[in-house]
Amino acid sequence: ECFLKQPEEKEKSTEKPKRRRKKKISDVLAKSAPKAGVHEDLQMLLNKHFGAQRSVIELEELKLPDSCFLPANDLTHSFSSYLKEICPKWTKLRKNHKEKKSVLMLIICSSALRSLELIKSMSAFKGDCKIMKLFAKHIKIAEQMKMLEKGMIHLGVGTPGRIKALIEQDGLSLNSLKYLILDWNWRDQKLRRLIDIPEVQKEIIDLLEMRIIKLCREESVKLGLF
């Protein structure tokens, strides 16, 4: 007698199907060559953020005029050489600065650590001006407000969140502000620029909307992308 052998059932696979890994911003940026930021990038960022929320008239009020933009860094400059190029009359400007609670130049970075790096790298530009750290790490806001009230500060370097908070609490005035520089091209360990970090991007937009855009439209403040 002939018996047909039944094929053995294959053991059911206990392995779970692999989940598709979500693409991170660092994956995208790692494959792209560094590209210098231009002022159209900032305007596009504002349009994208406010496009669905504002009317055509309101969007027009958020438009930054071309005349308010300084030459952008083409990735060949050191920080000092860039500042020298965009602000050739810095020495005269800082000598004439008399207003407390206000600064002539604000430099916006993504983190406290990056702020410290930039402060160290601007020695060839700053001369004998007084620089103040405007970030939250290890520094209380009340402490910063006292320093701004007492001393004559020429240049502030910090994060958008803390700078915004100081303005809101009347600790920092924008009356003397002439230049606002965004540390646009620098990338962190994850290859993110400051505008690639959602919370930092939102704080920058809030800060610009608060009063900077109005001052740019009045031609009293110039914007630079380093």
CA distance 140 to 144: 7
Annotation: CATH topology of 35-225: Rossmann fold (3.40.50)
**Over the stretch 137-177, which tens digit does the pLDDT of each residue have?**
889 999 999 999 998 999 999 999 999 999 999 999 999 99
The residue ranking higher by pLDDT, 107 or 17, is: 107
75: left (phi over 0), alpha (psi -120 to 50) or beta: left
**Over the stretch 17-41, which tens digit does the pLDDT of each residue have?**
666 666 665 566 566 667 888 989 9
Q: pTM, whole model, 2 decimals?
A: 0.83
The CA-atom distances, in angstroms, between 204 and each of 6, 142, 210 are: 70, 22, 10
Domain borders along the chain are: 35-225
Tell me, what's the pLDDT at 192?
A: 95
Angle, CA 174 vertex, CA 173 and CA 178 arms, to 5°: 145
CA distance 187 to 196: 9
**Over the stretch 71-94, which tens digit does the pLDDT of each residue have?**
999 889 999 999 999 999 999 999
pLDDT(197) > 80: yes
Tell me, what's the pLDDT at 177?
A: 97
* 121 in Cβ contact with 78 (< 8 Å): yes
User: pLDDT band at 7, cuts 50/70/90?
Assistant: low
